[in-house]
Amino acid sequence: MFHIYCPYCAEYREEEEFHPKGQAHIARPADPTASSDDAWGDYLFFRDNPRGVHHELWVHAVGCRKFFNITRDTRSYAILETYRMGEQPGVTAETATLAERDIERRTSDTATIQGVPS
């Protein structure tokens, strides 16, 4: 269960209040009618899907209903930062340290929670 800091409400709230909306910072082709099938297909469907640091769009659906961005590690699920629409991420795959990504602690948590794999 995530505890997410909404940059508009300036408060931590429970995951249930939010909805994830996929990869952030995807630029819509400037002139869709001039766009090739390949470029339009890439824009609509093809995603980074990284195993590691990911910038993603969320909406505070039952809160302020505003969209914002989260930088999160998709292995440890550690949230590295949240920031408003139009802003650029402060943490990226290149700059995030292992400690920030929180991998070691989370991995041992997982072992306790999951127990024997089924």
Interface with another protein (CB under 8 A): 1-2, 15-16, 19-20, 22, 37-38, 40-42, 44-51, 54, 56, 72, 74-77, 106, 110, 113-115, 117-118
Amino acid making up residue 15: E
Query: Residue 90 contacts by C-beta under 8 Å, 6 or more apart in sequence?
Result: 71, 81, 83
CB of 12 to another protein, least distance (A): 16
The closest alpha carbon to 89, from 61, 64, 44, 57, belongs to 57
CB of 31 to another protein, least distance (A): 18
CB of 38 to another protein, least distance (A): 5
